[in-house]
């Protein structure tokens, strides 16, 4: 089964003190064991770095540690898919048409990446927010 991982699942699995660490780590284990295929978008690389280095974790995550975590949990075990400029244009147009503001466009890009990669599931800890924007893909969205 191909599963798309939202940034919040990757961050939770990378930071031991994160409140959702345990369920996220279970997904990591299943990917490493070959039981499921993990998929992310190129956008996740930058988004994960930004979240890891700006969130006030104690201790703080240093930029070099953030890079190491991304390599360990994303670039190593997961397939990385690239969205085209057309995907971005469609996401912005859809957000505008629906009157969505702010970060919803980023969530929509994750949904588009999961659909583009033909994933059967999208794991996130923002299930309700994602389902509101995912249309026919909403049933594939769940928490780990």
Question: HSE (CB half, 13 Å, CA atoms) of 100?
Answer: 18
pLDDT by residue (tens digit) across 44-57?
A: 999 999 999 999 99
pLDDT band at 11 (very low <50, low <70, confident <90, very high): very high
What is d(CA 96, CA 111) in angstroms, rounded to the nearest whole number?
16
The four Cα atoms 99, 105, 107, 112 give a dihedral, to 10 degrees, of: 100
Q: What is the pLDDT of residue 120?
A: 98
As a whole-number percent, the residues of the chain with pLDDT over 90 amount to 100
Note whether 119 and 3 are within 8 A (CB): yes
Q: Which residues contact 118 (CB under 8 A, 6 or more apart)?
A: 2
Instruction: Extract the tokens encoding 72.
Output: 């360990």
**Domain span including residue 119:** 2-142
pLDDT by residue (tens digit) across 81-100?
A: 999 999 999 999 999 999 99
Q: What is the pTM of this model?
A: 0.95
Note whether 100 and 133 are within 8 A (CB): yes
pLDDT, the chain, mean: 96
- Which segments within the chain are labelled E, that is strand? 2-5, 37-41, 79-81, 121-123, 141-142
How many folded domains does the chain comprise? 1
Whether residue 59 is preceded by a cis peptide bond, meaning omega within 30 degrees of 0, is: yes
> For residue 17, what is the domain's CATH number?
3.40.50.1010
């Amino acid at each position: 089964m191909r599963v798309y991982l939202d940034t919040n699942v990757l961050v939770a699995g990378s930071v031991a003190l994160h409140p959702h660490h345990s369920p996220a780590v279970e997904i990591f284990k299943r990917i490493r064991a070959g039981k499921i295929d993990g998929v992310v978008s190129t956008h996740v690389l930058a988004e994960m770095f930004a979240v890891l280095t700006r969130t006030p974790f104690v201790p703080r995550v240093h930029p070099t540690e953030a890079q190491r975590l991304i390599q360990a949990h994303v670039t190593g075990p997961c397939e990385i898919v690239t969205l085209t400029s057309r995907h971005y244009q469609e996401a912005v147009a859809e957000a505008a048409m629906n009157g969505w503001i702010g970060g919803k466009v980023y969530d929509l890009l994750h949904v588009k990446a999961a659909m583009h990669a033909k994933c059967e599931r999208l794991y996130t800890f923002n299930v309700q927010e994602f389902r509101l924007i995912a249309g026919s893909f909403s049933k594939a969205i769940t928490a780990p």
